[in-house]
Structure 1
């Protein structure tokens, strides 16, 4: 591990500073992901694919609708939370507003 300043950190020192045992760290590092975590990662991949297909325009409601069409059981709120975790945000296009004044000032 290398710190930004160029100083090299050793794992033992970091674990001691955090108060974590080496065996606990190794157990955590080698842990097999749970079914829930695997499903979450699979859905996150699908959300990214749909988001990119829409040219980053779709938000949680449309993505949730697409996922439901594909057979996934998921709520709009969950899709929104996953998008927030991944840093995805739908583009909001400001509605066009007329700002010029008619050149005929007689009315």
Structure 2
């Protein structure tokens, strides 16, 4: 944990400060992959839920993460999709991540 996510040098802090939202998702996903290797009981579903919460800027409840109310997911999706939509000058990659996060957290019938 300490070696892989938290910066130990000023150079690494500066590098992290310049990361784009898409790059942060990659860093967080790589860190969670390392946790999956170290702790085999850490499931892929848990990892995807944590990444989705990270992308939608939601705090998961407990571990493994509890169910997030669909209304909360939908409102965060609306807010972030307006901010990052490519037609409004946003980054298409982060917009795709936002859509994937919404799909991961919402039940298929919501």
Q: TM-score, normalised by structure 2?
A: 0.28
TM-score by length of 1: 0.28
Q: Which has the higher contact order (CA 8 A, sep 6+)?
A: 2
Q: Give 1 or 2 for the bigger CA radius of gyration.
A: 1
Which is helix-richer, 1 or 2? 2
